[in-house]
Structure 1
Amino acid sequence: MTVTEVPAATAPVPPLAARATAVGGSPVRDILAVTARPEVINFAGGLPAPGLFDREGIAAAYRAVLDEVPERALQYSTTEGEPTLRAALAARTTVRGLATEADGLVVTTGSQQALSLLATALIEPGDTVLVENPCYLAALQVFAFAGARIVPVPCDASGIDPEALDELVARERPKLLYTVPTFQNPTGRTLPADRRAAVAEVAARRGLWLIEDDPYGELRFEGERVPWLASYPGAEDRTALLGSFSKVLAPGLRLGWLRAPAALRRACAVAKQAADLHTPTVNQLATARYLADSDLDAHVARVAAVYGERRDAMLAGLADALPEGSRWGRPEGGMFLWVRLPEGYDATALLPAVVEHDVAYVPGAPFHAAEPDVATLRLCFVTQTPDEIAEGLRRLRAGLAG
């Protein structure tokens, strides 16, 4: 007689953490996946132009470190980052008006990781975080994952309204303010010097951490550079400044950095140890070698000149491409244009029809921490050539017309 064993009932696995299901994915990444066809002219992504990467200079730097110090380049490194790279970054920061020592920096795996480390070090579940309105999407994700209560600060065409910020801080008692004050993502606007001084004063008087994210600041086409928020009186002991090589050299390097007061910097280093031990050594050493052997400033100037031409090409065609009554800004640098369509238009609802015409943008609604403005959208102008931009705008006009 054969005895058939009945398998025991299998219990379900425990559920995912609530934050893993409560925080959605990036709408930008979702759109890029849908529009990956080569025939699509994609104004949706914040992608640097690959044809402008200094491939020869980067390749030479990698060859040099792999030929000369392979045992070091391929080995574990310190959590805070390679000393040669930190020294080079400190020197660049100091020259730009913010005295910085190499030990005052932590090298991160992209500035996005720096933002995550700061959230880990600063935010307890339920803490209030202030953000610009609208705000960089991935920052909203980071703060949501940390369990923060996210409150938008009233902004106008120049950015944060300091008086509204002061009232909001008094009422909401937030832990920190997150801002991209130069060529902001998604709007492209730049916070003027007088407002930066006022924001620093509010932070000092009210007791507030500042996170200043600056991935685009070197991509200036016109106008005068505005000093970092971290350099203003009152901000020195409470500002974490984030920088990145993604937009000025190549995003695939995944190299960013964090400058912060000592106690916060140490807390971020401990959080980084738990996350990835350290940023890849070979990438750090190759970038340090690139900075030593090549002229990054000259490279950035060439990139910015091309991007300025592409911004002008997009500005020249927008009036014909968009419905009458649309409004948009004119950024002095960066990568993005922010558009508001007339009342009654919904950029999210219109996107499928636009994509059918082989062009894409990012709807503006997800960039808002509170009530979304559904008539807004973001256009990236740096990835395509002026001719491609003109064709993309022609397609956009057809798609919006239905």
Structure 2
Amino acid sequence: MRVKRLKIENFRGVTNLDLSFENSQMVVFAGINGAGKTTVLEAMQYLFSWYVARLKSPKGKGLQLDESDITNGQPYCFLKIEVEDCALGADCVVKWSLLKKRSSYRKPVDRQANRTELNDYADSKMELFADNKVHNLPLVDFYSVNRVVDAVPLRVRKKHELGPLDAFDSGLNNSVNFHSFFLWFREREDLENELYREMGKKFLGDDQLEAVRSAIKNLLPGYSRFRVKRDPLSFVVEKKGETFSFSQLSDGEKSYIALVCDIARKMAMTSPQSDSPLDEPAIVMIDEIELHLHPEWQMGVVDHLKKTFPHVQFFLTTHSPHIVTNLKNSGGDTLVALDRGEAVLTTQNQYGQTVDFILNDVFRLKSLRNSVVQKKIDEVWTLLKKGDCTSEKYRKLLGWLRTNIDSADPEFVRIALQEKRIEKGRV
């Protein structure tokens, strides 16, 4: 299952966006705050919530568009998606759309909501899943920026459902605290230990838990053996050979581990008969992938995700140049630079570029310095271009720079060279 095309019209700050994702495995939306990155993911969230709802019930309803979702001054909001699923055979593309029109707008619009193909698709997936024990349900999941590991539940007070449909969030909610993952892991590990006691060495371990453990090793080299310790009761993980309680880890470590484990858990749940659940297709959307991550981890997250989940189509948003500089145009990666709801599909290869290049080219930063220092430097150069390197104003500006920034700053070398050119021209 893969997204082929997404169309957004008049949805919040995005007025007209038509994107093709042919052969794209890793799609990254980059831009400054307010550029429309999260809006694009949330448009997909609305559309896929109907897919999840229809898997659970033929009459299930997903998230409803509201008049507040319509761009100011526009009469309607329209979302459309095209999804490809090769398991369907020759007719492998499914399309569906959502529409919301202002109640005060009386004229007809040349758009309509249509979920007929989606309904048939969801029905066929559930029929295949029920009749064919080796058929899996393609996972779709959304992780908002409101994802935190605020508390780790240790005691299972009631039995939880562990079936494939329980991996789907019925509304693809905007808040994730990962409680369900920890409860699932604890309960699943209790079942695994029970089978160990009954079967001994004949039992090779729980396949779904092994998928989670494998994901941790792939995405976090040096981390392993995530498990529940019984005395004292706690979740623990080995880090470079030393055992740590999960609560002892940094916020970045906890958030990243929980995210990776939750994706692996849900892929294992939706592919119960698969020998390699992490190799199954899925669609995962993550808002601000760099959240809580040190720049060193940001540098590796794209490659680690693709290696660990080779057939997952990821849709990420980011403010981080460290993410962007690891995208390969030739490796199925697509960078979409957004600016006020409009997109520019970059044809230039960003891979391996310096951070300052990415900040300038993708994030449109005019300067890498803080605005006060840059303003002083600009004023100095304005005077130098006029041939002025002796006035009181010039001396005050240069004195301010020498007081406030490092004396080894290369800007002083450039200024000194320009002063010599001016002096030679006066001789």
Higher strand fraction: Structure 1 or Structure 2? 2
Larger RCO (alpha carbons 8 Å, 6+ apart)? 1
Q: In which range does the TM-score fall when normalised by the shorter chain? A: under 0.3
Q: Which one has a bigger Cα radius of gyration?
A: 2
Give me the TM-score of the superposition, normalised by structure 2.
Answer: 0.24
